[in-house]
């Protein structure tokens, strides 16, 4: 057998070690969720999107923060590129999926950032992974905690959900136009949101929003368990008052703080990304 030169042996050994290290670092994840894990750092920002949209709504934040933090974005079950495990889903089930993904990825120091519906999803994630969570940030959500619908409101919700099943696309389009956009929201963003709203499985989408309407009782249980302050970035669009001080004071045992982003609708991370990123960086300084 021919002798292998020292230089070649070193190269072969280096290549072999790299392959072994890479294989060791690869993590097998058994999850219904499509996700992207990027960036660098000991702390991971976990961005969780809202109803009927997807993880790409955080692209501006990934670009802005990936040099300082590891970043996890994902599509909730039945959203974007993720599987729909069953015809109906609750907010709590979404929370379990996200917590399970974080656990499988081995993320130890996380900051939860939930938009809209996913403020409540993040509360369920925190309830499972509280020892890993360094911070909790809500984006245009959780401004009033612990609301329990009255019987009359439940009847109104039931009628609304029935109407959704009969004419989903038109109803959610009109709802978005009336409630989720400001006069400054670009037409391209309106079109994107509405396209995503009318695209999912109707029964699955409705089951999510039905579950959300009854999260008030869970908020009364889960919010007091927060051992970190609740930090909120809220749009001022159509809100007076901006938030409910009484319920936040009652249920946030670790305290809370609110930042306001002005002149946007419900999607400030898309509508004013530079200002949103500035505020988010300020919130992160409060946490770290």
Q: Using one digit for the tens of pLDDT, what is the confidence trace for 102-118? A: 999 999 999 999 999 99
Give the model's confidence band at 27: pLDDT under 50 very low, under 70 low, under 90 confident, else very high: low
Token look-up 């070690």 returns 17
Backbone angles phi, psi at 120, to 5 degrees: -75, -35
Neighbours of 72 (CB within 10 A): 25
Share of the chain above pLDDT 90, in %: 87
- 229: pLDDT strictly greater than 50: yes
- 24: pLDDT strictly greater than 60: no
Model pLDDT, residue 23: 31
Pick the residue with more confidence: 261 or 2? 261
Give, rounded to a whole angstrom, the gap between the first and last alpha carbons of the chain.
59
Model pLDDT, residue 28: 72
Mean residue pLDDT of the chain comes to 90
Model pLDDT, residue 61: 98
Model pLDDT, residue 97: 97
Token code pair at residue 191: 């079109």
- 17: pLDDT strictly greater than 50: no
Pick the residue with more confidence: 8 or 138? 138
Beta partners for 72? 37, 46
Give the model's confidence band at 189: pLDDT under 50 very low, under 70 low, under 90 confident, else very high: very high
């Amino acid at each position: 057998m021919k002798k292998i030169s020292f230089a070649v042996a070193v190269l072969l050994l280096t290549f072999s070690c790299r392959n072994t290290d890479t294989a060791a670092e690869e993590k097998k994840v058994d999850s219904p969720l499509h996700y992207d894990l990027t960036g660098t750092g000991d702390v991971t920002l976990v961005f969780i999107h809202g109803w009927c949209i997807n993880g790409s709504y955080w692209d501006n934040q990934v670009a802005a923060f990936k040099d300082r933090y590891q970043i996890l974005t994902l599509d909730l079950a039945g959203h974007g590129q993720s599987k729909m495990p069953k015809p109906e889903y609750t907010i709590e089930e979404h929370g379990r999926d996200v917590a399970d993904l974080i656990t499988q990825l081995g993320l130890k120091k996380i900051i939860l950032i939930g938009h809209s519906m996913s403020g409540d999803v993040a509360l369920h994630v925190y309830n499972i992974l509280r020892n890993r969570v360094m911070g909790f940030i809500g984006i245009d959500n959780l401004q009033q905690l612990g609301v329990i619908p009255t019987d009359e409101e439940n009847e109104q919700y039931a009628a609304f959900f029935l109407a959704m099943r009969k004419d989903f696309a038109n109803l959610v389009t009109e709802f978005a136009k009336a409630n989720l956009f400001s006069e400054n929201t670009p037409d391209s963003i309106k079109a994107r949101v509405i396209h995503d709203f009318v695209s999912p499985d109707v029964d699955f989408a409705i089951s999510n929003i039905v579950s959300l309407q009854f999260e008030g009782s869970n908020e009364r249980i889960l919010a007091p368990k927060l051992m970190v302050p609740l930090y909120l970035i809220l749009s001022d669009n159509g809100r007076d008052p901006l938030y409910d001080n009484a319920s936040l004071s009652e249920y946030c045992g670790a305290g809370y703080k609110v930042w306001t982003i002005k002149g946007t609708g419900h999607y400030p991370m898309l509508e004013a990304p530079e200002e949103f990123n500035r505020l988010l960086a300020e919130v992160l300084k409060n946490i770290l």
